[in-house]
Amino acid sequence: MLDDKTRYLQLAFNYDARMVGLLLPRVPYSPRIMIEAGTPFIKREGMAGIRFIRRLWPGLVVADIKVADGAAEEVRMVRAAGANAVTVLGNAPHETIMLFIKECQAAGMVSMVDMIGVPDPLEVLRPLRVPPDVVVLHLGRDEETTRGKLIQYRHVNRIRSKFPVIISAAGGVGIGEARSAIFNGANIVVANIVQSGDVWRGISAGEDLGQMSREFLTTIE
């Protein structure tokens, strides 16, 4: 479903269905654009929110549900709602991550392990019998305001030397950060749609989302 030679833009919606309904129709369709139902969005809107995104977007839809337990049920739940990809926490139990990957394979979904708060992703990946499709190097939104905290690109080559996975970079990604992510070996850059006054970085909801999407795709090509 994802090509490791292609560079993708993942647009993350973290607010409500109203914002999705207003902004998502402005995004030009591209097989290189992935639409994320962010964790706060899913908590607010539930599975109906994922179904709403699916009705508006014909391409790949990511459910950033961050599975921590009950992997089989949660993977099936978001798949039934229309997601093509789903996340599990790298800090989840080893058994949960293995079951998560197995269930994603059975459902034909992209498995993503989110390494938010994980000091060394290799410690998570080494015990797995089967690696995930995607490893997400994630600087959390609460960390973005901490001076000197950055996405840990030093792990990219360490991971790639041992596992055939796609690397996603998330957390405070604007145009400049997107260039840095690609330079450091990421395949996917995740850009949050942010509102005026938010302390974290991304694409402002007040900008021309169609134009910004095209600029991102050109930048990371």
pLDDT values of the chain reduced to their tens digit, one per residue, 221 residues: 899 999 999 999 999 999 999 999 999 999 999 999 999 999 999 999 999 999 999 999 999 999 999 999 999 999 999 999 999 999 999 999 999 999 999 999 999 999 999 999 999 999 999 999 999 998 877 666 666 566 788 899 999 999 999 999 988 788 888 998 999 999 999 999 998 878 778 899 999 999 999 999 999 98
* Average pLDDT of every residue of the chain: 93
Q: What is the pLDDT of residue 145?
A: 62
Q: What is the pLDDT of residue 139?
A: 82
Q: What is the pLDDT of residue 105?
A: 98
pTM score of the predicted model: 0.94
Q: Which domains does the chain have, with CATH numbers?
A: 8-153+168-220 (3.20.20.70)
Q: What are the CA-CA distances from residue 161 to residues 116, 122, 124, 190 (Å)?
A: 21, 11, 15, 23
Q: What is the pLDDT of residue 147?
A: 64
List, as one string, the DSSP characters of the chain: ---TTS-EEEEEE-S-HHHHHHHGGGSPP-TTEEEEE-HHHHHHHHHHHHHHHHHH--S-EEEEEEE-S-HHHHHHHHHHHT-SEEEEETTS-HHHHHHHHHHHHHHT-EEEEE-TT-S-HHHHHTT-SS--SEEEEE--TTTTTSTT----TTHHHHHHTT---EEEEESS--HHHHHHHHHTT-SEEEEEEE-TT-SS-SEETTS-HHHHHHHHHHHH-
